[in-house]
Structure 1
């Protein structure tokens, strides 16, 4: 995978940011001027990663761990540190503070920790920090994420073509922006080919709970859903789909071995090039805090189609993907109504990358996520 480290909106969707320049944010999100971070010799460098889940989850945290391994390969003399399964509590603050006392030069939080993280960044201005799925920039703090809504839309097209009932199911972690963007994009893709499609969401209030995800998959299948999707770090609902003879798509990695007949695709993330680039910049003394959304095809994409996906379905969905990559299609254009019937995106308007990143309402046809 080639490195494309800040979203090139002009190339991807004609939204007008120069490649490599970082995401153009409103003033309230831009933060202070970057601090000065001097160059560091590779042998003296300490790079730390704080993870929300276990590195063997084969999902979100595993993907970030693969990025760390790429850093280790690229900079074998540097020291890397990591802690897994950090809770959203004061324990997070203590963990990231410990990284600081271990003289880390660059610290990655591979999930959003909010004030638990910022308490450390504000007290250690001489250290560079990055937060995945973050929300603000400071002189020593940047954030990064993925434009997952595009491959999700593509998978939604396949779901709409393959679903017989038009009843789709989704296993969500929490009612957070990532889940709103994911569920909405999925259903929009499905409705582009099956306008009557609907999406039922079950929220399990965890990022990693195989038992709860499995139970949610059972409930959705029992309710008549014949295509399951979700944002979980394990394969619980894929296994249910395999047992029930229905279809499923996943998040983070290729999990087809857990349900080869049910598996359609996954939203897959690849951070190796991004992490190597960030560490290289920090060692060279050129690192700056930026907001970065990795674009379709360069950090996030759909997985190879599953063995039971008809060739015609794959071709139709991939034609949509190619139109996105060429800059000829943006599906997130009005009119878009929420699930109460209110127009949220008028005709003639298109949602920006920040609108999509901060999406906090459900579209028509989505039930069960939040209020």
Structure 2
């Protein structure tokens, strides 16, 4: 998962197929993108910088599947990638190397802030896209998944399946993407079972199976019978399977690591977005923009696990249908975990607000 620590700034016009929701009302419009001329497929080079190894089975694997789709769609196109790009000045050097090698388009599959922006500012002839980014400039855009909607849907299943009303969350860092994930799951659970609470444990890592196993074990020992989280590997699913609990995962289908425990997962699919962005760059129509990949168009819930009762599937999916029809379940009153009303009655949290979530909802402990 990406590491985003800054608030949003910038906006852009929607580019691509129309399946990507443009972000608006964040700031004044940036300078118009420079004209990037069309390219022949065989002359183009697209580079990807991944935050982890593409074999992590989670976040970077999901992005790599998108890269593979690009290669299939554009067989004459050249692609390069670097795994485990560090969050340091080394990232700047890697992005600069992409430009030096002749990249016409650069994707970073996590947020690299000024490390990528500084390179983009000095290479106006190159299109840059940053996952979980915050800034749009003439040639730098960003994109992210509205994972809070499938999290809410899965939360409904959690609220109906828990016996102790205690959900456990294996977190990583107290940042907006984690707050949005945990809060959405708990609010979904509380919508059908108001007595649900959630305890979160931060591991301070996106990929640390040992730490995730320890966190999941502690949550299980404290009485949590439904585990969820936002890690890039299936450690807490293994714990749930061994303890007879239920679990919901992130990134990809991981049921093979715990088929009895597996309820569902927030699953990601970047293929169509990547193909559309590359096609626009080749056609000379690409513009820097801020885009949300929406429910059923880049992010969704996975197929339900084998032990999820049909009635629960149907109740949760009824909400999925409502969301696809335009309904937003993040509506007030919503209180924080101190009891203060943060979202008053009659107010709906839009995606921009959820993208910046930095507080835990009522019933949440461990995330502040």
Partner of 2:342: 344
Matched ranges for 1:316-335 at <5 A? 316-327=315-326, 329-335=327-333
Partner of 1:236: 235
Q: CA deviation at 1:28?
A: 2.3
Q: CA deviation at 1:331?
A: 0.9
Q: 1:54-85: per-residue Cα shift (whole Å, max 9, x none)?
A: 10111110010000001101111111000011
Task: State TM-score, norm by structure 2.
Answer: 0.93
Q: CA deviation at 1:24?
A: 4.0
Q: CA deviation at 1:20?
A: 5.8
Partner of 1:82: 81
CA distance in 2, matches of 1:175, 1:30: 30
Conserved? CA contact 2:20–2:292, under 8 Å: no
CA distance in 2, matches of 1:304, 1:43: 38
Deviates more, 1:277-286 or 1:18-27: 18-27
Conserved? CA contact 1:50–1:86, under 8 Å: yes
Partner of 1:112: 111
Q: CA deviation at 1:26?
A: 2.5
Conserved? CA contact 2:19–2:293, under 8 Å: no
Distance change (3 Å), C-alpha of 1:57 and 1:24? closer
Task: State TM-score, norm by structure 1.
Answer: 0.93
Distance change (3 Å), C-alpha of 1:151 and 1:27? closer
Conserved? CA contact 2:23–2:352, under 8 Å: no
Partner of 1:10: none
Conserved? CA contact 1:30–1:136, under 8 Å: no
Matched ranges for 1:49-88 at <5 A? 49-88=48-87
Q: CA deviation at 1:21?
A: 7.8
Matched ranges for 1:205-284 at <5 A? 205-284=204-283
Q: Indicate the SS of the match to 2:192.
A: coil
Conserved? CA contact 2:36–2:284, under 8 Å: yes
Matched ranges for 1:1-371 at <5 A? 19=18, 22-26=21-25, 28=27, 30-327=29-326, 329-369=327-367, 371=368
Partner of 1:14: none
Partner of 1:9: none
Conserved? CA contact 1:112–1:134, under 8 Å: yes
Q: CA deviation at 1:29?
A: 6.1
Deviates more, 1:74-83 or 1:336-345: 336-345
Distance change (3 Å), C-alpha of 1:80 and 1:337? same
Conserved? CA contact 1:31–1:136, under 8 Å: no
Q: CA deviation at 1:31?
A: 2.5
Unaligned runs of 5+ in 2: 1-16
Moved over 3 A (4+): 18-22
Q: 1:303-331: per-residue Cα shift (whole Å, max 9, x none)?
A: 0000111111111111111111122x321
Number of residue pairs the alignment of both structures matches: 352
Q: Indicate the SS of the match to 1:49.
A: strand
CA distance in 1, matches of 2:20, 2:309: 40
Distance change (3 Å), C-alpha of 1:250 and 1:21? closer
Partner of 1:6: none
CA distance in 2, matches of 1:52, 1:306: 29
CA distance in 2, matches of 1:110, 1:209: 19
Q: CA deviation at 1:352?
A: 1.3
Unaligned runs of 5+ in 1: 1-17
Q: CA deviation at 1:180?
A: 0.6
Q: CA deviation at 1:19?
A: 4.6
CA distance in 2, matches of 1:79, 1:29: 36
Distance change (3 Å), C-alpha of 1:29 and 1:108? farther
